[in-house]
Amino acid sequence: MRSKCWCNRSPQVLIDEVFIQMKNKPATYIKTQSMPKQRGAVLLEALIAIVIFSFGILAIAGLQGAMMKNTADATYRAEASYIVQQRMGQMLAAPIALGGVADVPVPTLPDGKLTVTPISDGRLQFVVTWQVPGEAQHNYQAVTSIFMAREQI
């Protein structure tokens, strides 16, 4: 006859006794046997969740970098437009300044330069170029007509 004390028995003997006692309950036996096969499943799910979360964080960081670059590009384009509008205003105020080609450095843009070229009588082309280090050269172009009033004799 078997002893009821379980403290002096090896783990294998205890497992065998549980198996013998559970023969009449096969559903319970199947559940207890399938659990060791799932050992580490929670850890694997946690690792997969961390990997997915990491990809999400990397994507957000990449989007933020692209957003900052596009914001800087938009700022440079707005500055170039402002510079052209300023130069057009100066030429309208003093039409004598409608001379030939003029290259003017633009200190507010990286490696910026404003070029004013006469296209025809009274028509001028304004081109602002700038180049951010490590990128291609950008430009902003505008064409306007400035006519001086002629005095009649």
pTM (predicted TM-score):
0.59
If one compares 14 and 50, the residue with the highest pLDDT of the two is: 50
pLDDT in tens, 44-79: 999 999 999 999 999 999 999 999 999 999 999 999
In the block, residue with structure tokens 């004013």: 116
Per-residue pLDDT reduced to its tens digit, 83-135: 999 888 888 777 665 565 678 888 889 989 998 888 877 788 899 999 988 88
What pLDDT, on a 0 to 100 scale, did the predictor assign at position 30? 46
